[in-house]
Amino acid sequence: MNVKRYFAPTAREALRALKEALGPDAIVLSNRAVEGGVEILALPGEAVGALQAANRAAVAARSGGEARVAAPAQPAPLPAAAPSFDDEADFQVSLSSLAASAARNASRTAPRPAAEPAPVVRAFDPPRIETADYTMRNRDGRLRAAANAAPRAGGDAAAVFSGRAVGRPAAADEFGSARVRELQETNARLMSELTGIRGMIERQLAGFAWGETRRQAPARAAMLGELLEAGFSATIARKLVASVTEDADRIEAREAVGAALDRMMHACGSDDDLLERGGVFALVGPTGVGKTTTTAKLAARCVVRHGAGRLALITTDGYRIGAQEQLRIYGRILGVPVFSVRDAADLRQTLAGLRNKHMVLIDTMGMSQRDRMVAEQAAMLAGAGDVRRLLLLNATARGDTLDDVVRAYAGDDLAGCIFTKVDEAASLAPALDVAVRNGLDIRYLTNGQRVPEDLHLPNRAYLLHRALREHAGASPWHLDGDEAGMLLAAGGA
């Protein structure tokens, strides 16, 4: 019988060529991966009939041999040489060895009929919910198992090529990838729906909690609404109203909240720590916050206390038009030398020459808190020596904007903060909230352009009054009824 060899780049193409040549009844003997593609060995369908005829002849010979004397044993024919799969020619394999093997098997005693197998009890297998992660893990595990089994299976086993079984169609992998993508999209939709449901439940629960709070502690609920109106964050507002008892009235609630805020606040009532100790201080902050004017105000305070000879001013603002000249004018008025630096090396050299000064104030260039140059400026100041920074916060800004500023300028060398433009702010609650949550020392307040009159030490009573001032009932920012609870519920969700 002729064994036909078919070679193609893929198993699909080799099978197609086999069917075209031998028909759909062809017998596939083996398939394996070879260099450049896949090799399949097959027989025509008529070869099955020849093999069946050889088996029938062997059975007839066995039945006739029982009445005759056994003929002398003949040497068994040598098996045909195994074909070389590397040869490009077609292969011819003699089936005489197959026929002789069938005759020997038939001459043996017929096996006993097998006992009837016992009924198989199958365990209950519940349906499995398939997810994208489960599919990927199973697929990877099957591929690894096939790759490990391939070296042990031998040459006739289905080979594994590049981590994938040769007999596995490419369409199966495509189907698996599409299935994984479909499951991932389904999981994403389910998570989105669950998140929405969770948000609705949280808002409902927050509404119930707010209604219970208004019923049991009306003064606490009213005070919470006032704190949110003023500009406090929900985090600080909850901490403050926790000090209000359930049976407190409106006046007692305000006193309790004011006392709690006073305990949380770090306000410096004296400038001895700054002016008396001295050192090098850099005033930093966003553009337009008032760094140059505040530098001149601090310089005037230092001159009044220690004299002009104990102070020096440095400016790094070479970007804004007239910034250096503005500070030089203040320096001439105060009789204080003003130095201009360009980079870190220039700053280190200038500070080395001012070691005998009691205080050195550095006016830095203003930039957005989202500017990458903020980190470069901090690195320049840190590399110049023992330089401490004073962060200027605009009291008119929103709380979330001030949070961004503090995050951008945070560091171990931050010596505190200065509230600027206090006279322009409707409420000091956002600035106080940010200072309390970040543990910043409030050094000074500025409320105008006059030098040095409009620089003040923080007065606790004034700060509390400006932060807890109640909005008028006609104000569009006033919260009525359950609006504070709705605001808390939306924030929590």
348 and 417 in a single domain? The answer is yes
Burial 33-62 (b: 16+ CB within 10 A, else e): beeeebbbbbbbeebeeeeeebeeebeeee
- The number of folded domains in the chain is 3
Structural domain includes residue 473:
no
333 and 222 in a single domain? The answer is no
Q: Which two tokens stand for residue 94?
A: 């003699």
CATH code, domain with 445: 3.40.50.300
Once rounded to an integer, what is the mean pLDDT over residues 252-268? 90
Structural domain includes residue 125:
no
331 and 442 in a single domain? The answer is yes
284 and 258 in a single domain? The answer is no
pLDDT of amino acid 345: 85
233 and 308 in a single domain? The answer is no
Could you give the angle at which helices 132-153 and 170-216 cross, rounded to 10 degrees? 150
CA end-to-end distance (rounded Å), the chain: 78
**Confidence bin at 480 (pLDDT 50/70/90):** low
**Best-predicted range by mean pLDDT (133-137, 178-182, 251-255, 270-274):** 251-255
Structural domain includes residue 130:
no
Once rounded to an integer, what is the mean pLDDT over residues 106-123? 51
Structural domain includes residue 405:
yes
Give the end of a domain, one of 267, 284, 309: 267
Structural domain includes residue 475:
no
pLDDT of amino acid 426: 86
Structural domain includes residue 131:
no
Residue pair 313/361 in contact by the 8 Å Cβ criterion: yes
186 and 309 in a single domain? The answer is no
224 and 306 in a single domain? The answer is no
Domain around 95: 1-67+82-107+142-147+161-168
Q: Which two tokens stand for residue 296?
A: 């001149």
Give the end of a domain, one of 216, 248, 267: 267
Q: Is residue 476 reached through a cis peptide bond, with omega within 30 degrees of 0 on the bond before it?
A: no
Residue pair 417/294 in contact by the 8 Å Cβ criterion: no
- Pick from 18, 143, 135, 3: nearest CA to 82: 3
394 and 282 in a single domain? The answer is yes
Q: Is the pLDDT at 475 greater than 90, yes or no?
A: no
Give the end of a domain, one of 232, 267, 302: 267
Structural domain includes residue 127:
no
440 and 297 in a single domain? The answer is yes
- Pick from 298, 294, 275: nearest CA to 284: 294
307 and 175 in a single domain? The answer is no
Structural domain includes residue 33:
yes
pLDDT of amino acid 180: 83
200 and 310 in a single domain? The answer is no
Lowest mean pLDDT among 199-213, 255-269, 325-339, 362-376: 199-213
259 and 316 in a single domain? The answer is no
Q: Is the pLDDT at 94 greater than 70, yes or no?
A: no
